[in-house]
């Protein structure tokens, strides 16, 4: 079964995009940069999944601005369905959980400079579906 993931593309008040770095021990895309989010559980809406994942992973709440289209993402040897969700936060202060080792607020145009572990064209399609241009 292919997992569906809620993927939070979070912008702060300076319109910087949040990236988080996964732990080396993570099963999918270890030691790679990515976004807060996680599996959409059975019966859960995309909005519920975003709020359930973002607060524990970052320490802050978000306001959902736009839900993008489902995108196929090849994450190493695993294929997932990512649903990008453009979110806004009023803070730039991040409190990471145990799943992540680092974070950065970046200019969205610099996203492809980071090792995300997935094909560039899939990243461009995913962020483009919520209106972010790289």
Q: What is the CATH number for 106?
A: 3.90.79.10
What pLDDT score does 76 carry? Answer: 78
- The tally of domains found in the chain comes to 1
pTM over 0.85: yes
φ/ψ of 100, rounded to 5, equals: -130, 155
**Residues of the chain falling short of pLDDT 70:** 1
Judge whether 76 lies within some domain: yes
Q: What is the pLDDT of residue 54?
A: 97
Has residue 133 been placed in a domain?
no
In a domain, 96, yes or no: yes
Tokens at 110, concatenated: 């610099």
Residue 13 within any structural domain of the chain? yes
**R_g of the chain computed on alpha carbons:** 13
Examine residue 134 and state whether it is found in any structural domain, yes or no.
Answer: no
Domain holding 79, by residue range, is 4-128
Q: Is 69 part of a structural domain of the chain?
A: yes
| Residue located via tokens 């559980």 | 41
């Amino acid at each position: 079964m292919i997992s569906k993931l809620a993927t939070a593309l979070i912008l702060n008040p300076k319109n910087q995009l949040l990236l988080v770095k996964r732990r080396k021990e993570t099963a999918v895309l270890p030691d790679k940069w990515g976004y807060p989010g996680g599996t959409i559980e059975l019966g859960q809406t995309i909005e519920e999944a975003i709020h359930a994942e973002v607060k524990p992973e970052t320490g802050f709440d978000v306001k959902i601005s736009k839900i993008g289209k489902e995108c196929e993402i090849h994450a190493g040897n695993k294929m997932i369905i990512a649903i990008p969700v453009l979110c806004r936060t009023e803070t730039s202060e991040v409190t990471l959980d145990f799943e992540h080792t680092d974070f950065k607020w970046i200019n969205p145009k610099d996203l492809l400079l980071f090792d995300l572990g997935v094909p560039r064209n899939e990243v461009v399609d995913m962020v483009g579906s919520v209106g972010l241009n790289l």
